[in-house]
Amino acid sequence: MQTSKKSLFDFAIIGAGISGASCAYFLNRYGQKVVVIDKDKVASGGSGAAGAFLSPKICSNSAYTAFINEAFEFSIKFYRDNFDLHLDKAGILRLLKTELDLKKCKLGEEILPKNFKYLQPKEIKNLKKEACKFGGYFFKDGAVIDSIGVIKAMLEGIDVLEALHVEVLRYEDGCYKIAGIEAKGIILCVGNSEDFEELKFLGLKDIYGHRVDVKSATKLPFHMHKSCSISASRDGIIHIGATHIPNYKYLIQKDFKKEIDDMLELAKSYLDFDGFEVLDIHFGKRNSTSDFYPVLGKVINAKETLKKYSYIKKGSKVPKEKYEYYPNMFVHSGLGARGFVVAPKTAEILAKNICDDGQIDKRLDTQRLFLRYAKREVLI
């Protein structure tokens, strides 16, 4: 990994998780000169804690499910074509929880990624009988990605600055100036960081969680998910994820022993572990929007736009071209619980939008969250 020289960049990307790495990768492919900055280390945020299961969404035929499954197909191909070494392609078995799940899955089959097969309970091997009583869907293309390895690989050949906490975005003479770096544009890939007032209007929420690495002699030949995920065993190690802890900041309890124990008990109810030694517990946060779609696009100067067009608060329409924006500043965030599934697809859309006038679907762009923010403002 290189360190940055003092020079002018097209974009400074703040945040070196899967969001920032994906943006850097695609902008670089478009010939943009980028630098990636992180207050800590590469993949030190939620991305480093993730189990990084690449799993489709099932049991629903909603537009959101279709979006996730398109992103799944895109990302599997993307990782295979470019970062195959980091991909554990054992396939993923999604066990159903109820009889109703099976009905819902059948209805939504047309938006499932290709290469799937419904398995009857008696066809499922390696797992406890009781856990499989409604059968499951096996996705041959399902995988687990080595989260830290793939992010480092995506950033190869790209300038990276670690241990640089960006607190102020100073824009002067057509450039952002950050600790000796000059960049014509900024991409904020910081999740729900409190450092940036500019992102408040997105109303992002955090859900914290744990992944546990376990040593066991049990050999599971595929990845699986029911109410928690269990990876295939590699060199005697199995990853189990993840807990879901909203409102972490307001919780006094610090060790989350109960949440972790509950998750491990669930895993034990699916798989007979031959030896079970906890090697490591990873903790991090996911961030998501109120409608769960990721958010990407130009950063709206929410306060100035509302000052100029206060009637937006009451629902009057103003074309988004007339909004006030921070100069050449973009965001790529709200990746939720499937950041590794979604980020390659959404980063490609953003890079195409910036470099090639590509459109951002209105379900993904910043405007929808701004309009919700404007409505909230009128209620306060």
Ligand X SMILES: Cc1cc2nc3c(=O)[nH]c(=O)nc-3n(C[C@H](O)[C@H](O)[C@H](O)COP(=O)(O)OP(=O)(O)OC[C@H]3O[C@@H](n4cnc5c(N)ncnc54)[C@H](O)[C@@H]3O)c2cc1C
- Interaction between residue 20 and ligand X (CB under 6 A): yes
Stretch binding ligand X (CB under 6 A), from 14-22, 215-223, 246-254, 305-313? 14-22
Among 12, 27, 34, 50, binds ligand X (CB under 6 A): 50
Stretch binding ligand X (CB under 6 A), from 48-56, 78-86, 108-116, 353-361? 48-56
E strands along 289-357, which residues?
Answer: 295-300, 325-333
Stretch binding ligand X (CB under 6 A), from 64-72, 95-103, 128-136, 203-211? 203-211
Phi, psi of 343 (to 5 degrees): -55, -45
Min dist CB 337 to ligand X, Å, is: 5
- Interaction between residue 16 and ligand X (CB under 6 A): yes
- Interaction between residue 161 and ligand X (CB under 6 A): no
Stretch binding ligand X (CB under 6 A), from 36-44, 97-105, 119-127, 362-370? 36-44
For ligand X, the binding residues in 163-192 under the rule CB under 6 A are 165-166, 189-191
Q: Report which of 46, 42, 106, 32 is spatially closest to residue 335, judged by C-alpha positions.
A: 46
For 105, other C-beta atoms within 10 Å of its C-beta total 22
**Complex with ligand X: residue 195 or 377, whichever CB lies closer:** 195
**Complex with ligand X: residue 190 or 374, whichever CB lies closer:** 190
- Per DSSP, the residues of 65-127 read HHHHHHHHHHHHHHHHHHHGGGEE---EEEE--SHHHHHHHHHTGGGS-SSEEEE-GGG--SS
Among 338, 344, 347, 353, binds ligand X (CB under 6 A): 338
- Interaction between residue 94 and ligand X (CB under 6 A): no
What's the per-residue H, E or C state across 262-293?
A: HHHHHHHHHCCCCCCEEEEEEEEEEEECCCCC
**What is the Cα 79 distance to its own chain's centre?**
15
Strand 175-178 and strand 170-172: the pairing is antiparallel
Contact 183, 10 (CB under 8 A): yes
Stretch binding ligand X (CB under 6 A), from 273-281, 302-310, 323-331, 337-345? 337-345
Instruction: To the nearest 10°, report the CA torsion of 320, 323, 325, 331.
Output: -40
- Interaction between residue 113 and ligand X (CB under 6 A): no
- Interaction between residue 34 and ligand X (CB under 6 A): no
For ligand X, the binding residues in 282-301 under the rule CB under 6 A are 284-286
Contact 15, 160 (CB under 8 A): no
The gap between the terminal CA atoms of the chain, to the nearest Å, is 47
Sheet bearing 143-145, strands edge to edge: 53-54, 143-145, 87-88
- Interaction between residue 200 and ligand X (CB under 6 A): no
**Complex with ligand X: residue 160 or 306, whichever CB lies closer:** 160
Give the interface size with ligand X as a residue count (CB under 6 A). Answer: 43
Q: Is 142 exposed, middle or buried (0-12, 13-18, 19+ CB in 10 A)?
A: buried
- Interaction between residue 69 and ligand X (CB under 6 A): no
- Interaction between residue 18 and ligand X (CB under 6 A): yes
Strand 229-230 and strand 237-241: the pairing is antiparallel
- Interaction between residue 239 and ligand X (CB under 6 A): no
Min dist CB 269 to ligand X, Å, is: 19
Residue partners of 173: CB distance under 8 A and separation at least 6: none
Stretch binding ligand X (CB under 6 A), from 15-23, 110-118, 352-360, 367-375? 15-23
Question: By the criterion CB under 6 A, which residues form the site for ligand X?
Answer: 14-20, 37-40, 44-47, 49-53, 165-166, 189-191, 193, 195, 209-211, 241-242, 284-286, 333, 335-341
